[in-house]
């Protein structure tokens, strides 16, 4: 009986092995269907796509499909792209999407076969490509990442050297690793380590058309590029509010979705329905809404791009104010042959005041800053000052610059000492671009104090 039992067990094991080999030998069915028009690479973990990026692109595609039911998308894993799904066999597929994640893992997982499949789809089948963040890095032939250089063999190699993360916006290696940042078109989008050109390690020339750039940093660095049939994104226009990030509002996300959908249509030649943009705010619509020949942020009626009333305020507007409560003289230019002004105690109000003390006999010390009163018809300069122990050999002067320096208060050889701060107010012209305070005192007991400097305009 034991003999027969052993034979039966051996038979079962052989049968299981045979069935296993038979199943392994069967071709795996490609998930692309005849009506599929968008494929999205979605292999997470060592496949290279970030869990957050997959969640975001899913929500974007579901949002778009809710407006146009003809959109049919499927996710592909690395085996699908490299072996199971020859994209050339599916002529209805218009767009291939490579989301964010890790470009090294992407190229390693997809390998040479996946690379060839994607490039054949782009180069020969008339397909289009959306690369977001790591998906943009993956399109390059090499890149700089956090100061190190990489040229992995199975990157797609269709774009010149890239670099990231842009630490001037957000350092990927430091918590939280991302930032909500402003685009040159007014959109607010999530930056999470995406690439650019022209920052530190790459030249500023680009292939294709820069269709969006970062406005929170200098140099007009590209945040999105249209190159032939490719839409390459450094930022996450598909990011979803409160899904792994904070700061993005529902309104901002919805407008970002519309922007992304419109640009996908443009690069791929599709005509999927996109809902219209929300009516822009008056201070961001490019229109002179109050008829004063000033538009958007050039209009004194606009406090921000989100302001929906361009009407000029009634009465004077404070366009400059400094009570020196930062504890330093940041924003002021300090120069002259005398000892510099500095932040001191003894303020008129608060804790800090600008002070010049014992500059040296005959040595002037200047405290100067720039202002902008263009667009206003009149302006007033106000300040509080206290002069301690100034005699005929000392000097204190306040001036504005409108092409020439013009004095509004000049002590000269009269001398003055104040036990308390004295309020001063002077009219200055609308062409004024700078104001400055001068102090020249020789003795250790002599000082000039200035506090609560304001410029009001209307």
* CATH number of domain containing 44: 3.40.50.880
Taking the complete model, does pTM exceed 0.85, yes or no? no
pLDDT at 313 (0 to 100): 75
State phi, psi for 368 to the nearest 5 degrees: -130, 145
Same domain, 139 and 197: yes
CB 230 within 8 A of CB 129: yes
Tell whether 242 and 377 lie within a shared domain.
no
Contact 139, 156 (CB under 8 A): yes
Instruction: Say yes or no: 324 and 303 in one domain.
Output: no
Indicate whether 116 and 236 sit together in one domain. Answer: yes
Evaluate whether residue 25 is within a structural domain.
no
Of the ranges 24-28, 142-146, 164-168, 383-387, which one carries the lowest mean pLDDT score?
Answer: 24-28
Percent of the chain residues past pLDDT 70, beyond the cut: 94
State how far the Cα of 438 lies from the Cα of 405, in Å rounded to an integer. Answer: 12
**Per the domain annotation, does 323 fall within a domain?**
yes
Residue 59, exposed/middle/buried by CB under 10 A (0-12, 13-18, 19+)? Answer: middle
Same domain, 330 and 303: no
Phi-psi region of 16 (alpha: psi -120 to 50; beta: other; left: phi over 0): alpha
Between residues 69 and 10, which one has the greater pLDDT? 69
CATH of residue 397's domain is 2.60.120.260
- Contact indicator for 261, 249 with CB cutoff of 8 Å: no
pLDDT number for residue 279: 83
Q: Do 105 and 251 fall into the same domain? A: yes
pLDDT at 42 over 80: yes
Q: Are residues 207 and 124 in the same domain?
A: yes
Residue 434 is encoded by which pair of tokens?
A: 């700078």
pLDDT for residue 81: 98
Pair 326, 362 in one domain:
yes
Residue 246 predicted with pLDDT over 90: yes
Within a domain: 434: yes
Report the number of distinct structural domains present in the chain.
3
**Where does the pLDDT of residue 367 fall: very low under 50, low under 70, confident under 90, or very high at 90 and above?**
very high
Provide the 3-class DSSP secondary structure of residue 137. helix
- 262, 293: one domain: no
> CA–CA separation, 240 vs 253, rounded Å?
6
**Partner residues linked to 73 by β-bridges:** 38
pLDDT of residue 12: 52
pLDDT at 27: 58
On whether residue 111 sits in a domain, the answer given is yes
* 2 within domain boundaries: no
Name the residue range of residue 203's domain: 38-268
User: Looking at the domain assignment, is residue 32 inside a domain?
Assistant: no
When pLDDT is averaged across residues 364-387 and rounded to a whole number, the result is 95
Report CA-CA distances (Å) from 284 to 226, 299, 312: 24, 11, 15
Kindly state whether residues 305 and 172 are assigned to the same domain: no
Tens digit of each residue's pLDDT (9 = 90 or more) over 291-327:
888 889 888 888 888 888 888 877 788 999 999 999 9
Rg of the chain taking only CA atoms, in angstroms:
33
Q: What's the CA gap between 194 and 3, in Å, rounded?
A: 67
Res 193 pLDDT > 80: yes
Q: At a CB cut-off of 8 Å and minimum separation 6, what does 17 contact?
A: none
402 in Cβ contact with 432 (< 8 Å): yes
User: Does residue 199 share a domain with residue 302?
Assistant: no
pLDDT band at residue 280 using 50, 70 and 90 as cut-offs: confident
Q: How far apart are CA 89 and CA 304, in angstroms?
A: 51
pLDDT at 169: 98
Q: Which two tokens stand for residue 60?
A: 């974007």
Q: What is the pLDDT of residues 145-180, one digit of tens each?
A: 999 999 999 999 999 999 999 999 999 999 999 999
Strand partners for 57: none
Q: Is residue 4 part of a domain?
A: no
Residues 47 and 170 grouped into a single domain: yes
Domain assignment present for residue 330? The answer is: yes
Q: Which helix H or strand E contains 104, and what residues bound it?
A: helix 103-123
Average pLDDT for the chain: 93
């Amino acid at each position: 009986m034991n003999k027969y039992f052993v034979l039966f067990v051996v038979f079962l094991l052989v049968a299981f092995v045979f069935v296993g080999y038979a199943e392994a030998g069967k071709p795996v069915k490609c998930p692309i269907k005849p009506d599929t028009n968008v494929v999205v690479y979605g292999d997470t973990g060592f496949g290279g796509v970030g869990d957050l990026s997959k969640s975001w692109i899913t929500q974007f595609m579901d949002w778009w499909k809710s407006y146009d039911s003809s959109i049919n998308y499927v996710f592909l894993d690395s085996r699908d792209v490299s072996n199971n799904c020859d994209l050339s066999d599916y002529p209805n597929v218009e767009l291939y999407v490579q989301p964010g994640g890790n470009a090294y893992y992407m190229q390693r997982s997809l390998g040479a076969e996946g690379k060839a499949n994607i490039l054949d789809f782009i180069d020969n089948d008339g397909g289009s490509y959306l690369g977001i963040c790591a998906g943009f890095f993956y399109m390059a032939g090499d890149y700089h990442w956090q100061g190190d250089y990489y040229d992995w063999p199975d990157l797609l190699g269709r774009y010149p050297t890239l670099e990231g993360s842009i630490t001037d916006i957000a350092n990927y290696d430091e918590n939280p690793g991302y930032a909500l940042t402003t685009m040159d078109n007014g959109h607010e989008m999530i930056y999470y380590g995406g690439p650019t050109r022209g920052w530190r390690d790459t030249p500023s020339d680009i292939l294709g058309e820069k269709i969006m750039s970062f406005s929170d940093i200098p140099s007009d660095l590209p945040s999105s590029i249209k190159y032939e049939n490719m839409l390459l994104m450094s930022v996450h226009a598909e990011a979803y509010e409160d899904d792994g990030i904070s700061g993005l509002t529902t309104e901002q996300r919805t407008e970002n979705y519309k922007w992304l959908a419109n640009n996908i249509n443009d690069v791929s030649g599709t005509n999927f329905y996109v809902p219209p943009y929300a009516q822009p705010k008056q201070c961001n619509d490019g229109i002179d809404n109050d008829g004063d020949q000033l538009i958007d942020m050039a209009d004194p009626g606009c406090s921000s791009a989100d302001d929906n009333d361009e009407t000029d305020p009634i009465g004077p507007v404070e366009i400059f104010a400094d009570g020196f409560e930062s504890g330093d003289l940041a924003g002021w230019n300090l120069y002259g042959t005398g000892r510099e002004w500095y932040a001191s105690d003894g303020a008129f109000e608060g804790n800090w005041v600008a002070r010049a003390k014992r500059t040296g006999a005959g040595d002037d010390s200047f405290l100067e800053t720039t202002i902008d009163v263009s667009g206003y018809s009149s302006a007033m300069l106000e300040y509080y000052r206290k002069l301690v122990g100034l005699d005929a050999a000392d000097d204190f002067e306040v001036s504005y610059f409108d092409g020439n320096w013009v004095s509004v208060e000049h002590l000269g050889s009269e001398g003055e000492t104040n036990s308390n701060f004295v309020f001063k107010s002077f009219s200055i012209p609308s062409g004024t671009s700078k104001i400055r305070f001068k102090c020249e005192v020789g003795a250790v007991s002599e000082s000039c104090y200035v506090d609560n400097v304001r410029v009001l305009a209307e």
